[in-house]
Amino acid sequence: MSSYLQVKNITKTFYGVKALKDVSIDFEEGEIHVVIGENGAGKSTLMKIVAGMYQQDSGQIILQGKEVKFSNPLDAIANRISMIHQELMPIPYLTVAQNIYLGREPLNKFGLLDKKKLLVLTRELFDEIGIDIEPSVQMRELSVAQIQLVEIAKAVSFHSRFLIMDEPTSALSDKEIESLYKLIFDLKNNGVSIVFISHKLEEVFKVADKISILRDGEHIGTKSAKELNRDTLIAMMIGRDLTQVYTKYELELREPVLEVQNLTKKGQFENISFKLYKNEILGIAGLMGAGRTELVETIFGIRQADSGKILVHGKEVSIKHPEDALKNHIALIPEDRKLLGLNLKDTTGFNISLCVLKQFQKFGTLIPVRENNRIDAMIKNLNIKVHSRKTPVVSLSGGNQQKVVIAKWLMTEPDILIMDEPTRGIDIGAKTEIYKIISRLVKEGRSVIMVSSELPEVLGMSDRVLVLCEGKMTGELSKEEMNQEAIMRCATV
């Protein structure tokens, strides 16, 4: 295979931080080239430069032997380069066909939209690449997987020969992922070069011909997928040998700090009872729809229980609102950090201090020095990689955004920290750092409830595991009883 596109010595800086440092990679014709690295390593930034969304500070893009310069995505598309983004943004009330040919609609002799021809073009495109979706339906009627396929079809409709896919399977089921893989392999067999960005290591080895590893904005190396295994790949990503992903201290579990007695929320969960001890990490496992998030949101006061009791340090408490939970030193890291955990329009510092601004006021006036000192201490303590507290939080990697959410709630000085999917959507290096933070908090005397869909995470971090199935607690497993089979048996009764 010959080189189709090369990036040479690409450098890019945002807010005083170098996102890419002198990166050079060759992408060959008709191959699936996976680009992998920790969140913030520069993967998406590099590909957005190739796709014309950003312009590099220095360096070159060489396309089929000739240097090209893209001022915008249309320049890249004109050169048959397309990018499918992680955040899908279809126009919901337009049809599938209208979304695909937006701005390129066929017109009749009167200059009006030729709806019949538009549907014919779309059906021919779908037949060509094996997609079974009705072109006349509105995008809002499609599943996430179908929207993903439409985005791929749109890229193919530009006759793209270089297709960039950023985390394309992040919201898909296993069956939908297999369909996507088939389409990708068909495109590859037709000579299309595919760049595949992913943090799922199992997926990487399923699809990759070659793998390029980025770390802290630098190109660490490019190897054939056959030359790598999971451990060596992780070591290249995080810059150290993978000796232990899960950091866990063995601590004595003492008095209960939280007791839940027969807690019920009709239609969501019923008669849930358990104790959480000081210095404990209590895992909550179960399949989607089991009631895990609903349970912890009720403990935190987002939802209202129909019956049951909550005791904190042996005393019954009434939690009708998150403010009640905070008064009882309970905090919740929500499942969706972007939707529920962060104000993406504001700075990192503002997000960290948001819940405790009253602490930094005197006679109703904010004292910035006190606030900034606490923010800076938290940034340092959690090793949040950020240029300054004034950096927009939206510009941070997923792992660092998650640390900001943790920092925000740690500012409230909780005794009990509930974490709902604490490592969702972040890479192995960032996960390892989050695990270290959790273990350190427990060692300092806090207690953690950790809801997770990742069984290795549950097993690696928990002292005990509660298992929910269809709103009922079907298992409570000790450290000695915990294994994947035991959890899945309880989760599927």
The domains located in the chain, with CATH, are 3-90+142-238 (3.40.50.300), 256-491 (3.40.50.300)
Per-residue confidence band for 216, with pLDDT thresholds at 50, 70 and 90: confident
Joined together, the tokens standing for residue 183 give 């389409």
How long, in residues, is the chain? Answer: 493
Q: How confident is the model at residue 370 (pLDDT cuts 50, 70, 90)?
A: confident
Torsional sign, CA 53, 161, 213, 406: positive
Give 302-324 as a DSSP string. SS--SEEEEEETTEEE--SSHHH
| Average pLDDT of the chain to the nearest whole number | 88
Under the banding of pLDDT at 50, 70 and 90, the label for residue 10 is very high
For 312-323, the pLDDT digits (tens) are 999 999 999 999
Residues above pLDDT 90, as percent of the chain: 55
The string of pLDDT tens digits covering residues 374-428 is 999 999 999 998 888 999 998 888 889 999 999 999 999 999 999 999 988 777 7
Q: Average pLDDT, stretch 150-158? A: 85
More confident residue, 46 or 426: 46
Position 244 confidence tier, pLDDT thresholds 50, 70, 90? low
Please report the pLDDT score of residue 477 as a whole number: 94
- Tokens (6 digits) for 10: 């690409």
Higher pLDDT pick, 118 / 337: 118
C-alpha distances (whole Å) from 112 to each of 108, 122, 138, 378 are 5, 18, 20, 59
Going by pLDDT thresholds of 50, 70 and 90, the confidence category of residue 251 is: low
Say how far apart CA 238 and CA 459 lie, in whole Å: 22
Q: How far apart are CA 395 and CA 400, in angstroms?
A: 10
> How do residues 259-302 score in pLDDT, each as one tens digit?
999 999 999 999 999 999 999 999 999 877 789 999 999 999 99
d(CA 100, CA 137): 12
Residue type, 469: C
Determine the Cα angle at 181 with ends 179 and 184, to 5°: 115
Gap between the Cα atoms of 425 and 454, Å rounded:
11
pLDDT of 332: 95
Instruction: Pick the range with the lowest mean pLDDT from 84-98, 172-186, 206-220.
Output: 172-186
What average pLDDT does range 22-48 have in this prediction?
A: 90
SS3 label, residue 490: helix
Q: Where are the alpha helices (DSSP H) in 20-143?
A: 43-50, 73-78, 96-100, 115-129
Sheet strands side by side (includes 315-317): 269-277, 256-265, 307-312, 315-317
